Amino acid sequence: MKRAAQHLPGLVLIAILGCSRNLEPQQAAAQPPAPAETASVRATCVAGQFYRADPEGLAADVNGYLAAAQVPEITDDIIAVIAPHAGYEFSGAVAGYSYAILKDRSYDTVILVGPSHRGMPLSGAALSSHDFWETPLGKVPVSQEMNEKLLAASSRFKMSDTAHDGEHSLETQLPFLQTVLEEFSIVPIVFSDFGPHNTQPLGQAIASVANEKTLLVVSTDLSHFPTAEQAKTVDHEILDAICSLDVDTVYAADRELLARDIPNLHCTACGLGPVVAGMGAAKMLGATRADMLHYANSADADPRSASRCVGYGAVVFVGARKAATSSGEPGAAPSVELDKAQQQYLLKLARSSIKAHLGTGTLPDIATSDPAMHEQRAVFVTLTKDGKLRGCIGQIIARHALAVAVRDAAVSAAVRDHRFSPVTRDELKELHIEISVLSPMEPVASYTDIKVGKHGVMVVRGRRNGVYLPQVAPEQGWNREQMLENLCSHKAGLAGDAYKDPNTELYVFTAQVFGESEEH
């Protein structure tokens, strides 16, 4: 029986902000000349959902949020801002602070940085090839010149309109930008790998192409789904870490908060990676201070969400703007492979986690100071019984500390793999546990670059995707073409030869795979 990996749901994305000039109601900024008929336009996909679809009502909403924001006077250069991206009725008032602080300032280009809400397996970051992005307030030009500079600055940037299709996080910021800026272009960027090996080079490359008329807007919501009171605690701690301007402090705060086992806390900031990349870029461009402008959560807008809350914050990065010295892109430093002792710790953790969940519904604490256990890694946990698959679930994108990811994936493989009935307590002793620790995803130009036995593969076409771990093809005796045909047809629901289509995206990864001995 073949092993199949399950693609986890995508995470909520972050949004990005612009500068404020005219705050009078229904007085939107001048739009660029109408594009030629041959121009490529990304049409709105969330008007009527995240914000109003009628232009007059939308303009009134945005101007109302801007007018209500009471912000301090800042004389230094404003290099970057952070703002939320939820539906306007929940986060629009907080976003208003991030824009209102930009009153009477002007920018020619706004670099929008956010995470991929759909969880696209981007090894670097995705740019948009469209000439314009559209909202009910008109069309905004995309700076293809800036795109070309980013492509030259770092191999981690790729053109991928698929990554932007159906994505709301950046689009929801455009009506604000169209209201507060007179003439501007945008550079939409989304990514999903939040590890420092990705955020550092992305931040450096962004800084290297920015100039004195560039605004960096990083978008993120904060905590997801704790109670309103717990959200306030988590959100203020992660905001304090962000305002420290220290990347290590942000990562450490994120790990510590998630390790507290706060009920229903899914993340401290859904756009943690873009926040870190934006922070790095802002510091390279001269930011020496970060100030929180405003905080609120969804319960402030709708008390009915108090038991399952989302937080929102507005932050500004200021200093004396300077030119970045160079992109200085380092190679993506591969994570060090785990030694035998670390492997045994994770295997024991996986088994004890399943046992605890089946027995008491609890999860064991992560009681280790080993830095490797706290590094964000993508993992799969595979359960077999008598040599046959009994469950396999994990993550293709690093979102959690390694130990936490293994613990959670082990329990999910035991009780949440929809292909099988839940594992029972009596059955646990008959199971064999195998863990696969994945490398970051990397795109390949051609399917002929895929090496059977070395590479795991993910295929993406529109909203369809499927993934196989590296060990699947050898176990089944497949060659490359057989593996890809099965992946496309059985996992992604595509035609068997879809992997040959240039519109199909292929990503590869490697994995360190280790399992329990016969006596466990």
3-state secondary structure of 182: coil
And the tokens for 451? 């090496």
Write the pLDDT tens digit of every residue in 266-301.
999 999 999 999 999 999 999 999 999 999 999 999
**Cα separation values, 14 from 197, 229, 395, Å:** 20, 22, 20
Write the pLDDT tens digit of every residue in 85-102.
999 999 999 999 999 999
Is the confidence at residue 235, as pLDDT, over 50? yes
Lowest mean pLDDT among 28-32, 46-50, 267-271: 28-32
Which residue's structure tokens are 């949004």? Answer: 15
Which pLDDT does position 14 carry in this prediction? Answer: 25
Which range of 65-79, 330-344, 501-515 scores highest in mean pLDDT? It is 65-79
Nearest residue to 180 (alpha-carbon basis) of 347, 19, 4, 321: 19
CA distance 70 to 499: 53
User: What is the arithmetic mean of pLDDT over 326-344?
Assistant: 63
Which pLDDT does position 498 carry in this prediction? Answer: 94
Write the pLDDT tens digit of every residue in 205-228.
999 999 999 999 999 999 999 999
Antiparallel, parallel or unpaired: β 185-191 and 109-115? parallel
pLDDT level of residue 31 (50, 70, 90 thresholds): very low
CA distance 370 to 38: 56
Domains of the chain, start order? 41-319 (3.40.830.10), 340-515 (3.30.700.20)
Radius of gyration of the chain from its Cα atoms, rounded to whole angstroms? 23
Is the confidence at residue 200, as pLDDT, over 90? no
Structure-model confidence comparison of residues 118 and 498, the more confident one: 498
And the tokens for 116? 């991929």
Is the confidence at residue 5, as pLDDT, over 60? no
Is the confidence at residue 500, as pLDDT, over 90? yes
Question: For a pLDDT cut of 70, what percent of the chain falls above it?
Answer: 89
Instruction: List the beta bridge partners of residue 511.
Output: 438
**Cα separation values, 422 from 118, 394, 513, Å:** 27, 16, 24
